[in-house]
A and B are shown apart, each in its own frame.
Chain A
Amino acid sequence: DGGITQSPKYLFRKEGQNVTLSCEQNLNHDAMYWYRQDPGQGLRLIYYSQIVNDFQKGDIAEGYSVSREKKESFPLTVTSAQKNPTAFYLCASSTGVSGANVLTFGAGSRLTVL
């Protein structure tokens, strides 16, 4: 079955450590996204990528980095520069970025900083 796989589902990090969240899709979608979800707030876009080897900053890119070396993969690194990284992170993909752009989401990764 086609879908998006995120790992790990739960992750604990000590302050000062970088962590990388994995996101893999087998939907043959061109566009991929990373969102952050905090209680009481809407989803906020961290980074997105429309094609391989290209990505754009979203609204809250500071303290995060991404790569898009393969169409299927879009890992997110949460660096030590991110001041408040504890959150639920959602990866998504779509066929494009305009029009009736339906997003397919992964199951999410919950990061907790100790």
Chain B
Amino acid sequence: GQNIDQPTEMTATEGAIVQINCTYQTSGFNGLFWYQQHAGEAPTFLSYNVLDGLEEKGRFSSFLSRSKGYSYLLLKELQMKDSASYLCAVMDSNYQLIWGAGTKLIIKP
């Protein structure tokens, strides 16, 4: 079966750095997405990786290793507004999105 694994919850301190990991086992691979979702709101797109390596976008970076079935989202200079759930999703060989359950990130002052 197809599977996406992410930690359920993480806690970090304002101003610090946090890394949220995502491992996947899917039927084929056509890209990996990260979305941010504040409680009770719509998910919003953060990043897309289809080739190995690091993609940097401001305070957020996303890394992909296709051979290891592994990605991480790196958040720097954490702010209170970064408290949210972070969803990892992989597009399989049929261009269907497989979603992880999400990682709830709690930022403490």
Contacts and interface: CB of A to CB of B under 8 A. Distances in A.
Contact of A45 (B8, B30, B44, B96): B96
A98 B41 contact: no
Contacts of A98: 30, 91, 95
Contact of B45 (A45, A99, A103): A103
A101 B101 CA distance: 20
B109 to A, nearest CB: 27
Interface of A is mostly: loop
A101 B91 contact: yes
B40 interface: yes
A26 B33 CA distance: 23
B41 A100 contact: no
A108 B87 contact: no
Interface of A: 4, 40-45, 88, 90, 97-108, 110
Interface of B: 4, 8, 30-31, 33, 35, 40-45, 48, 50, 87, 89, 91, 95-102
